[in-house]
Amino acid sequence: MMYFILFWGSSFINCVIATAVCPGPPRVEFASVYPDKRVYEPGEEVNYACQPGYIYNSGLKKAICTISGRWSTITLKCRLRTCTYPGPLHNGIIHHEELTFQSVISFSCNEGYILKGANSSQCNEKAEWNEELPICEPVTCPFPPVPEFGKIVFHLPKTGNVSIFQDVVRYSCLPNYALFGNETVSCLANGNWSDFPECRDIRCPRPTEIENGFMSFSPDRLYHYREVVTYGCKPNYVLDGPRESKCEMTGNWSIKPSCKAPCHINVKRAEVLYNGQRVKLQDFKERLIQHAEIIFFYCKDKKNNCGYPVSTQCLDGVITIPECFHEYSSVSAFFVTEASSMKACITVS
């Protein structure tokens, strides 16, 4: 009887131990388990490893099948691997949202530049980009032409006389030729140059004379672009405007000056203020002042018994004598005090 009880108890224990196994271990996101079986005996261990493209973040990498048939707590966490930013892309843009495993970035170049290399790249399981960073090369333009009757005065091409995007060429025309258009052209983003200028042979007819003046020696012929003639005025006339006139690209002459006439002062006797000095008109030679000159006549303030100057200006042969001025004859001057001889009026501002 005792033997039967012992045999039964041993069989019961063996049966319990035989059934206390663990099923497959819990799955961990982005991780694989080794060894991977359907059933594990108590005490067996499994190891977790992050899948390609993922790296360890935190937690334990092992789990044990306990005698109760359950796995110890799994705490492993894996995270996506991250590729380093591949830039900068000079003269271009890297378009991206993420830089993690399997993310794709794309490349584009700024206006005037051409992409040399891959236009996209993917972050692989080694946290490396599967394509090298491309290059943005500038657009090139052909050697710039030289316009007829013109020349290049500035051009700095690269090796092999190659001009690239935004390179500049400056032109000028040969003597006597006028430049129409922009003197500076640029290499454009489309590989062409901006509009080239044109050099034209411009001629002007013989310039005309000016009234009361003269012109430098100017034979009757056609004149070239930028040729110049010089003007002057007769004695006592004043040149108003530029002394030189130039043949312009329109085929016409630039603005010519005019000769402004002097003014004759129809006053026989008076003391005036002229060029900062008191002078007597009777001592004036021909009583002439030139165009634009200012002269002051003295007027009386009878109420305050004083004199004050009033200005007037010569304008192309015309001068107006102030109304307040009174001219006295040589006889009456013995009995009347002229305004210029009176005490100066005090001006209150």
Return the percent helix, strand and coil in the chain, to nearest 5. Answer: 10, 40, 50
Task: Say if residues 233 and 227 touch (Cβ distance below 8 Å).
Answer: no
Kindly report the average pLDDT of the chain as a whole number. 89
Over residues 218-229, mean pLDDT: 94
Q: Are residues 241 and 289 in the same domain?
A: no
Q: Are residues 244 and 286 in the same domain?
A: no
- Give the model's confidence band at 234: pLDDT under 50 very low, under 70 low, under 90 confident, else very high: very high
Q: What is the CATH number of the domain that holds 54?
A: 2.10.70.10
- pLDDT tens profile 284-303: 777 899 999 999 999 999 89
Q: Are residues 70 and 32 in the same domain?
A: yes
Using the predicted structure, report yes or no on whether residue 6 has a pLDDT greater than 90.
no
Q: Are residues 169 and 212 in the same domain?
A: no
Q: Are strands 120-122 and 104-109 parallel, antiparallel or unpaired?
A: antiparallel
Tokens of 228: 């110049």
What pLDDT shows up at residue 5?
36
- Give the model's confidence band at 246: pLDDT under 50 very low, under 70 low, under 90 confident, else very high: very high
What pLDDT shows up at residue 8?
38
Higher pLDDT, 282 or 307: 307
d(CA 264, CA 240): 19
Over residues 62-77, mean pLDDT: 93
Total residues belonging to the chain: 349
Q: Are residues 65 and 26 in the same domain?
A: yes
Q: Is residue 87 assigned to a domain?
A: no
Q: Is residue 333 assigned to a domain?
A: yes
- pLDDT tens profile 307-323: 999 999 999 999 999 99
Contacts 24+ apart (CB under 8 A), 242-249: 245/207, 247/202, 247/203, 247/204, 247/223, 248/202, 248/204, 249/178, 249/179, 249/180, 249/200, 249/202, 249/225
Domain count, the chain: 5
What pLDDT shows up at residue 341?
87
What pLDDT shows up at residue 9?
43
Q: Are residues 276 and 311 in the same domain?
A: yes
Burial of 19: CB neighbours in 10 Å, binned 0-12, 13-18, 19+: exposed
Using the predicted structure, report yes or no on whether residue 78 has a pLDDT greater than 60.
yes
User: Read out DSSP for 186-255?
Assistant: EB-TTS-B-PPPEEEE-EEPPPPP-TTEEESS--SS-EETT-EEEEEE-TT-EEES-SEEEB-TTSSBPP
Over residues 193-222, mean pLDDT: 94
- Give the model's confidence band at 10: pLDDT under 50 very low, under 70 low, under 90 confident, else very high: very low
Q: Are residues 184 and 221 in the same domain?
A: no
157-166, 194-203, 261-270: which range is least confident on average? 157-166
Using the predicted structure, report yes or no on whether residue 11 has a pLDDT greater than 50.
no
Parent domain of 169: 140-201
41-45, 57-61, 218-222, 329-333: which range is least confident on average? 329-333
Token pair 């004149």: residue: 223
Residues contacting 172, CB < 8 A, separation 6+: 150, 151, 153, 179, 183
What pLDDT shows up at residue 268?
87
Domain termination residue (choose one: 156, 185, 201) = 201
d(CA 239, CA 237): 7
